[in-house]
Structure 1
Amino acid sequence: MKFDGVLFFPVTPFTDKGTVDGGLLKEHISSRLPFGPGGVFPACGTGEFHALSLAEVRTVVRAAVEVVAGTVPVVAGAGGPLGHAIEAAKVAEDAGADALLVLPPYLVTGPSEGLVAYIEAVARASSLPVIVYHRGNAKFTAASMATLAADPKVIGFKDGLGDVGLAQEIVSAIRASGREDFALFNGLLTAELTQGAYRGLGIPLYSSAAFAMAPEIATAYYDAYEAGDEERRNALLEGFYEPLVRLRDQTPGFGVSLIKAGLRLGGLSVGSVRPPLVDPSEEQLVQLSAILAKGYELVGR
């Protein structure tokens, strides 16, 4: 499975009654497809997987599959308690997903062999290939990733931890395994800020929550990144991404909340985030609006 372009993590829109709005989700995704994402990742972190029921995961993934219509891979989230993760894998397969992003297990921290077994159990639950998400209490070692890379159903690794030394060891271990088809992602929050460094580690792909909110800006960054236009890339970092990160860091969970707020500011009524996340204050919305305005100015919109 090949990913070529910005990796798009759509939000999950909710109605005023708090239910998933499948029609608006289709509109959200279809409006971003002309910008050429390399893959669509519904019901993952930006899509509030942590707050979705299995029935809602099915609704979200099916909507994404219908809109994408095979043009790029659709990778659905699965994770949390093992039983829930296994059922989410089955639901995603039934809804037509192409692969799974395996999010961390719930609450407990297990040893390396336990994490390997967790990934293997989710992989066995469906026919779909899986991508490992290295984040939080799912901290993999180079040895554990070498073990998983020996399984052809494991096709990728997404780093959300930010330990660059460990990430380099894992990249080296995967290379040593002989896998040339393994996708390597930077999955840190607002990954554009760190992608210059991750490219040096041998991790060329990155997830972009900003693409869901402002595809023109995210695509301009990606184009500069791919072209090696460091002047353009740094201008976008300094004018848009760095201020966005400073605002994001004011409140836990704003990696998702600000994206939904930005969509609402742009006229797409995707609703609020679900607890335990919170929406930005009025003052923070003013700041976000100014940051977006500057970003659009930089890209000439």
Structure 2
Amino acid sequence: MPELTMNDGVLFFPVTPFDGSDRVDTELLGQHVAGRVADGAAAVFAACGTGEFHALAHDEYETAVAAAVAAAAGAVPVVAGTGGPLGHARACARSAEQLGADGLLVMPPYLVGGPQSGLVAYVEAIAAATGLPLIVYHRGAATFTPESVEALLRIPSVVGVKDGVGDIAVAQQFVRVAAASGREVLFFNGLLTAELSQAAYRAVGVPLYSSAVFAMAPDIATAFYVALRDGDSERTAALLDGFYSPLVRLRDETPGFAVSLIKTGLRLGGLPVGSVRAPLVDPTSEQTARLAALLDRGRELVA
């Protein structure tokens, strides 16, 4: 049975940098990944949502995954994204395995929905294409029931579930299904800006969460992670009120800003990762200035 283990720390979702000719900038991606691994990332989730999986051609996907694997250098696991059209998902799964990834995050199928049996079959088809362990993303067109999660956990290579729906009661049912199965299962809070909801997820047995903020501001993200882990409610509240809540308000102004703001924050920090690809858009100059002020405020709170 495939295994995927992760150490204590923040889960890192790198952006995919594009150069002036709109090509994947492998040197910059390697710098981005190596730097965040040194900052204490517990795992690297390459070419996933924050990495604009939706906008990458297959050869670009391979370029991004290869660069992330090389930069992580075995220090932490590298989990590559897959999903979308089934043929594309299978091809990405095979490529990721060949390139040395340690696991796959299975994102929803493209455009169409399906019944629960079809969604389980979608994951089964990807599992049949690779020997890598799979984390299933519960979100959007791939919203599962507890009964379907029970079926997914009968697939030997399914080792985790990432929740992007936000129904705490259902998330707790997933945890209970896993407990009844006797399997060790990795559960993740995968909501946008997951820091805002992580205390609730921890309470129902979901200790892991994805942090897009870690990609642009590892000092702020790590400070929050440590405060939450150690039960420092005063510091957690200060970061939530002074940084994360205002960041979410800015994020919610424009669709796609969950990715766009992260790339902008990296550019503000001196890493020229380029713009997002359509249909996403970059922030306006006024929004960029507000993001810069928020990052300054977050670092004041950390200090």
TM norm structure 1: 0.98
Secondary structure of the 1:133 match is strand
Shift of 1:73: 0.7
Residue 235 (str. 1) matches residue 201 (str. 2): no
Q: How does 1:66-145 map to 2 (within 5 A)?
A: 66-145=70-149
Question: What is the identity, as a one-letter code, of the residue corresponding to 1:74?
Answer: V
Q: Partner residue of 1:185?
A: 188
Residue 269 (str. 1) matches residue 275 (str. 2): no
CA distance in structure 2 between the partners assigned to 1:137 and 1:50 by the alignment: 14
Shift of 1:148: 1.1
Stretches of structure 2 that go unaligned for 5 or more consecutive residues are none
Residue 285 (str. 1) matches residue 291 (str. 2): no
Which one is further off, 29-38 or 243-252?
29-38
Contact kept? 1:39, 1:75, Cα under 8 Å: yes
Once the two structures are superposed, what CA deviation does each residue of 1:8-62 show, in whole Å capped at 9, x if it has no partner?
Answer: 0000000011110000000111111122111000000000000001111111111
Question: What is the identity, as a one-letter code, of the residue corresponding to 1:297?
Answer: E
Q: How does 1:41-60 map to 2 (within 5 A)?
A: 41-60=45-64
Q: How does 1:219-258 map to 2 (within 5 A)?
A: 219-258=222-261
CA distance in structure 2 between the partners assigned to 1:192 and 1:152 by the alignment: 30
Percent of matched pairs sharing the same residue? 62
Once the two structures are superposed, what CA deviation does each residue of 1:76-104 show, in whole Å capped at 9, x if it has no partner?
Answer: 00000000000010111111100000000
CA distance in structure 1 between the partners assigned to 2:6 and 2:35 by the alignment: 19
Residue 150 (str. 1) matches residue 154 (str. 2): yes
Shift of 1:152: 2.0
CA distance in structure 1 between the partners assigned to 2:11 and 2:102 by the alignment: 14
Q: How does 1:192-203 map to 2 (within 5 A)?
A: 192-203=195-206
CA distance in structure 2 between the partners assigned to 1:32 and 1:188 by the alignment: 21
CA distance in structure 2 between the partners assigned to 1:193 and 1:174 by the alignment: 25
Residue 172 (str. 1) matches residue 181 (str. 2): no
Q: RMSD of the TM alignment (CA)?
A: 0.8
CA distance in structure 2 between the partners assigned to 1:152 and 1:36 by the alignment: 30
Q: 1:259 aligns with which of 253, 258, 262?
A: 262
CA distance in structure 1 between the partners assigned to 2:141 and 2:180 by the alignment: 26
CA distance in structure 2 between the partners assigned to 1:43 and 1:71 by the alignment: 18
Shift of 1:256: 0.2
Q: Partner residue of 1:64?
A: 68
Which one is further off, 120-129 or 269-278?
120-129
Question: What is the identity, as a one-letter code, of the residue corresponding to 1:57?
Answer: Y
CA distance in structure 2 between the partners assigned to 1:237 and 1:248 by the alignment: 15
Q: Partner residue of 1:19?
A: 23
Secondary structure of the 1:77 match is strand
CA distance in structure 2 between the partners assigned to 1:111 and 1:269 by the alignment: 43
Contact kept? 2:228, 2:236, Cα under 8 Å: yes
Shift of 1:170: 1.4
TM norm structure 2: 0.97
Counting matched residue pairs gives 299
CA distance in structure 1 between the partners assigned to 2:72 and 2:32 by the alignment: 11
CA distance in structure 2 between the partners assigned to 1:208 and 1:47 by the alignment: 13
Contact kept? 1:54, 1:91, Cα under 8 Å: no
Residue 28 (str. 1) matches residue 32 (str. 2): yes
Shift of 1:261: 0.3
Shift of 1:167: 1.4
